[in-house]
Amino acid sequence: MLKLFKIIADAGEATAKYPFAPFPVSPGFRGKPELDATQCIACAACTTACPANALTMDNDTATGIRTWQLHLGRCIFCGRCEEVCPTHAIVLTPTFELAVANKDDLLQKASFRLQDCSACGRPFAPAREIDYAMALLRQSGVAVDEARRAEFACCPACKRAATVARDAVSQHLSPEAEQ
Amino acid sequence: MTVSEQTKVGQNYVDGLRERFGAAILDAEWQTADQVTVTIKLGSLPDVVEWLYYKQGGWLSVLFGNDERPLNGHFAVYYVLSMEGIVKSWVVVRALVEEHRPEFPSVTPRVPAAVWGEREIRDMYGLVPVGLPDERRLVLPDDWPDDLHPLRKDAMAYNQRPAPTSDSETYTFVNDATGSTRDVPLGPLHITSDEPGHFRLFVDGEDIVDADYRMFYVHRGMEKLAETRMGYDEVTFLSDRVCGICGFTHSVAYSSAVENALGLVVPPRAQAIRSVFLEVERLHSHLLNLGLASHFVGFDTGFMQFFRVREKAMTMAELLTGARKTYGMNLIGGVRRDIMKAERTRTLALVAELRVEVTQLVDMLLSTPNLRQRTAGVGILDKKVARDFSPVGPLVRASGFKRDVRADHVYAGYASLPFDVHTEDSCDVLGRVLIRAREFFDSLSIIEYALDNLPAGPVLLEGFHYRPHQFALGFAEAPRGEDIHWAMTGDNQKLYRWRCRAPTYANWPPLRYMLRGNTVSDAPLIVASIDPCYSCTDRVTLVDVKKNKSTTVPYKEIERYGRERKDSPLK
Ligand code: SF4
Ligand code: SF4
């Protein structure tokens, strides 16, 4: 009995003051994922990696808008999104207070403009992704100026059609192709 | 995987089978150095399994069906035996079942441990175990259509299910008592939590004559979900969610199943880190169970103290893995997070604190007269029953069997970690409590040793090739016994089949024998001693075999009676 009283006395007060005082978490704690929409290029890497389908992407070709959505109710805080994001746009924060009064508030959205193809005019990829690809090339020393934007803003189907057309012409002219 | 002749562990079992059963043994194929799948003629199934089980020191870890019609035109049944005789290895007995004759000879009359698995194969695949005495469903609800077998490849989508047609249960509960009993009408189940179950105790006055129970009211269909909707690498995160206690253990079991199937060599550092995380998970579970043991013998102050100290184990998990539950750490090929110096130092400090505090608490618990008085000689799991049903974890160890998958088979970093396998011969609730207390301190030492001896190198294997239709076993010892998974890869980076067996699945069937002969007030303690999720036992029906009278009592009431032992709910 005495032992027990001693343990209880030594333990002191075990109850935390939370929620009247902040409750610290360990460094590296994986809480609510947050998107920095200015960094995001809407590449959809995170939505592909997300095991819980908490992240989804919707394309509306009529309006040319791609919508990134995070459903916090489905999120399992694994951090796969953070791991795969090429631009560090999504990170898991230490925030763990996620209760909402209205279920819809668990859904977060961000919209991105889709680029219309410079040839066929149909939207095919987020405009930001094209900026990103050009910036990457510039960074690795390839001279890519704005004048070449149309080349990058061309959808894969049109690019292929253009290549086939060009190759057909060149094959026709080359003596090897005749043999 | 190609395994060279010299490294084939378990060749002796295959040789023995060939010698004894000759032409009935069709093929033997090694998946890893110590896993062999032996394909046999269907008719020899009971003989082969019985021989491996009783004559060669085998234990039946799991059995399951597989719809291999798209692959080879047949269904298949697999019986996984953990061979724990002189040579420790895995022997998986496989037999093909013809599509137009969907039945196989039941093994249960020879090896009782097969009972739940065979009932489940019948539910899920519509393959009939001929000669299985228990003809009741195991998993499917009473009003489920007779001809719909969810795991058949052509059955249904994972997100569809037939609408319920009835609110009442038609399940018959089995009572082997000699006295006569009356049918008990059942109200709708009162589900208070995520894992309800229904218990029936057949009593004579205060004494339990027999017991039966039914689970699977909230079967989540995870295997189907994994096979149809998720990528094989995403299932790692789903397998975490199998359990709220031993989730990481499940994901280690799952990841290693796929790694074994694809022949991947996980870096040693990753394996050691897995062992650290596994032991951290064992810590908090043991403390939870010791806390509940205090609660069930009416020592609630002890319960509070164990739970207070348990917070330190939770902090350790948060520190090392970024979440209080050790979730989301595994990938196929290793782990996602390394252990840094600061984390190591802080973890070692927590280990030291836990050792001091828990030593005091365990002393206190063991010197509580109530504990011995209420648990010694209660809930006896007879050695013979234990041998017949292949239970796992502290339950089987307290009945004198030295079984622990950490010591018996190779996985994670355990091959280079020192620890003992504790056993008791008392076969009772007390024995199980003592074992868990000792294993708690072992876990502390393992964590210390592993952190001091972490191998260097990467924590993740990258750049491997995925191949379809490879299969193997993965396993890991959870605090309550081993988790065992079998995975077969498929097309489109999806699993063809995933079988996941949690420890409690192996421990429920012998529970009936542990309840017999005890009093009603011991029932909660006995159930608690296998450490199932508590909500499993939501409501209890008591049937008095002499008075022919039945009463339905809320579980809380039985629990209270178990603690206070006055005002019997039977009166
Ligand atoms: S943390 Fe995991 S579950 Fe949540 S959004 Fe990111 S990838 Fe999806
Ligand atoms: S991976 Fe990063 S950049 Fe790509 S869509 Fe997700 S958040 Fe945006």
Instruction: Tell me the pTM.
Output: 0.90
What's the average model confidence in pLDDT over B145-154?
Answer: 91
B205 and B61 in a common domain: no
Q: Which of A69, A70, A87 to mutate to test the pocket of ligand 2 (most atoms within 8 A of CB)?
A: A87
Q: Which helix (H) or strand (E) holds B80?
A: strand B74-84
**CB-CB under 8 Å, B328 with A76:** yes
Q: Binning pLDDT at 50, 70 and 90, where does residue B179 land?
A: low
**Both tokens of residue B128?**
């009939």
CA of B466 to the centre of ligand 2 (A): 26
Q: Residue B481's beta-bridge partner residues?
A: B478
pLDDT, mean over chain B: 88
Distance CA B129, CA B109 (A): 11
Decide if B493 touches A, using CB distance below 8 A: no
Q: Among B52, B114, B129, which Cα is nearest to B83's?
A: B52
Answer whether B38's CB lies under 8 Å from B14's CB. yes
What's the average model confidence in pLDDT over B184-212?
Answer: 58
B195 and B78 in a common domain: no
B203 and B117 in a common domain: no
Residue indicated by tokens 């292929």: A160
What's the average model confidence in pLDDT over A44-64?
Answer: 93
pLDDT of residue B370: 84
Which CATH fold would you assign to the domain A29-171? Answer: Alpha-Beta Plaits (3.30.70)
Q: How many residues does chain A have?
A: 179
Using alpha carbons only, what angle is made at residue B248 by residues B247 and B251, rounded to the nearest 5 degrees?
A: 95
Decide if B158 touches A, using CB distance below 8 A: no
Q: Among A132, A133, A116, A120, which Cα is nearest to A159's?
A: A120
3-state class (DSSP) for residue B182: coil
B339 and B266 in a common domain: yes
Total structural domains within chain B:
3
* Containing structural domain, residue B498: 226-378+453-503
B335 and B477 in a common domain: yes
Q: Binning pLDDT at 50, 70 and 90, where does residue B292 land?
A: confident
* Region of residue A79 (phi > 0: left; psi between -120 and 50: alpha; otherwise: beta): left
CA A145 to chain centre: 26
Q: What is the DSSP letter of A41?
A: -
Answer whether B450's CB lies under 8 Å from B321's CB. no
Say how many C-beta atoms besides its own lie within 10 A of residue B65's C-beta.
27
Distance CA B389, CA B367 (A): 33
The set of residues, in sequence order, having a beta carbon less than 8 Å from that of B547 and lying 6+ positions away, is: none
B519 and B487 in a common domain: no
pLDDT of residue B181: 45
What's the average model confidence in pLDDT over B543-559?
Answer: 62
Instruction: Please indicate, yes or no, if residue B175 is contained in any of the structural domains.
Output: no
pLDDT of residue B369: 84
pLDDT digit string, tens, across residues B456-486 = 999 999 889 999 999 999 999 999 999 999 9
Ligand closest to Cα of A108 equals 1
pLDDT of residue B95: 98
Answer whether B64's CB lies under 8 Å from B447's CB. no
Closest approach of chain B CAs to the CA of A80, in angstroms?
Answer: 9
pLDDT greater than 70 at residue A170: no
What's the average model confidence in pLDDT over B22-51?
Answer: 96
pLDDT of residue A51: 93
**CB-CB under 8 Å, A30 with B323:** yes
Distance CA B169, CA B166 (A): 8
pLDDT greater than 50 at residue B243: yes
Q: Worst-scoring range by mean pLDDT, A142-156, B314-328, B408-422?
A: A142-156
pLDDT greater than 80 at residue B188: no
CATH for B499: 1.10.645.10
pLDDT of residue B561: 73
Closest approach of chain A CAs to the CA of B237, in angstroms?
Answer: 7
CA dihedral A146, A147, A148, A151 (to 10 degrees): 110
Please name the residues between 31 and 70 in chain A that touch chain B, using a CB distance below 8 Å.
51-52
Residue B536, annotated ligand binder?
Answer: yes
CATH for B540: 3.30.390
HEC letters along A50-95: CCCCCEEEEEECCCCEEEEEEECCCCCCCCHHHHHCCCCCEEECCC
CA of A33 to the centre of ligand 1 (A): 7
Q: What residues of A are in contact with residue B367 (Cβ under 8 Å)? A: 3
| Binding site membership of A154 for ligand 2 (Cβ less than 6 Å) | no
pLDDT greater than 80 at residue A60: yes
**CB-CB under 8 Å, A4 with B322:** no
Task: Report which protein residue has its CA nearest ligand 1's atom 7.
Answer: A50
pLDDT of residue A148: 86
Q: How do the domains of chain A map onto residue ranges?
A: 29-171
What's the average model confidence in pLDDT over B312-340?
Answer: 94
Closest Cα in chain B to A79: B328
Q: What residues of B are in contact with residue A25 (Cβ under 8 Å)? A: 318
CA B532 to chain centre: 10
Distance CA B496, CA B243 (A): 22
**Both tokens of residue B558?**
């039985």
The set of residues, in sequence order, having a beta carbon less than 8 Å from that of B193 and lying 6+ positions away, is: B533, B534, B535, B538
pLDDT of residue A114: 93
pLDDT of residue B442: 96
Ligand closest to Cα of A40 equals 2
* CA distances in angstroms from A75 to A85, B109, B236, listed in the order given: 16, 46, 15
Give which of A2, A3, A4 to mutate to test B binding, by max B Cβ within 10 Å.
A4
B354 and B317 in a common domain: yes
Task: Report which protein residue has its CA nearest ligand 2's atom 1.
Answer: A85
Please give the full DSSP string across B129-170, using - where no structure is assigned.
Answer: EET-S--S-SSS-TTS-TT--TTSTTS--TT--PPP--SS--
Instruction: Please indicate, yes or no, if residue B405 is contained in any of the structural domains.
Output: no
Distance CA A16, CA B239 (A): 32
pLDDT of residue B193: 33
Distance CA A71, CA B52 (A): 50
Residue B246, annotated ligand binder?
Answer: yes
CA of A26 to the centre of ligand 1 (A): 19
CA atoms within 13 A on the CB side of A155: 15
Closest approach of chain A CAs to the CA of B59, in angstroms?
Answer: 35
Atom index in ligand 1 nearest the CA of residue A82 equals 6
B308 and B198 in a common domain: no
pLDDT greater than 90 at residue B169: no
B258 and B192 in a common domain: no
B274 and B191 in a common domain: no
Residue B243, annotated ligand binder?
Answer: yes
Q: What residues of B are in contact with residue A33 (Cβ under 8 Å)? A: none
pLDDT digit string, tens, across residues B391-442 = 999 999 999 999 999 999 999 999 999 999 999 999 999 999 999 999 999 9
B303 and B230 in a common domain: yes
Closest Cα in chain B to A83: B336
Q: Binning pLDDT at 50, 70 and 90, where does residue B183 land?
A: very low
Q: For residue B114, with 0-12 CB atoms within 10 Å meaning exposed, 13-18 middle and 19 or more buried, which class applies?
A: buried
pLDDT of residue A161: 92
Closest approach of chain A CAs to the CA of B323, in angstroms?
Answer: 6
Q: Among B408, B236, B260, which Cα is nearest to B326's?
A: B236
Residue B427, annotated ligand binder?
Answer: no
Closest approach of chain A CAs to the CA of B318, in angstroms?
Answer: 6
Residue B500, annotated ligand binder?
Answer: no
B234 and B121 in a common domain: no
pLDDT of residue B213: 76
Instruction: Please indicate, yes or no, if residue B370 is contained in any of the structural domains.
Output: yes
Higher pLDDT pick, A142 / B440: B440
CA B99 to chain centre: 30
**CB-CB under 8 Å, A8 with B305:** yes
Decide if B315 touches A, using CB distance below 8 A: yes
